[in-house]
């Protein structure tokens, strides 16, 4: 139980950080580029 709470806390800090949004934007941009290449 403690380990699960610790992981949730770490994930919460990660989501609040800029790194999460940078990774999300990068993933979205990659999908858009790939879609444009194959469509």
Each residue's pLDDT tens digit in the chain (39 positions)? 556 677 778 777 767 777 778 888 999 999 999 999 988
Torsion sign, CA atoms 10, 14, 16, 17: positive
* pLDDT score, position 27: 94
pTM: 0.48
* pLDDT score, position 21: 82
Half-sphere exposure of 39 (CA within 13 A, CB side): 6
């Amino acid at each position: 139980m403690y380990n699960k709470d610790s992981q949730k806390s770490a994930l919460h800090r990660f989501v609040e950080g800029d790194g999460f949004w940078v990774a999300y934007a990068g993933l979205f941009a990659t999908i858009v580029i790939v879609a444009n290449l194959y469509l």
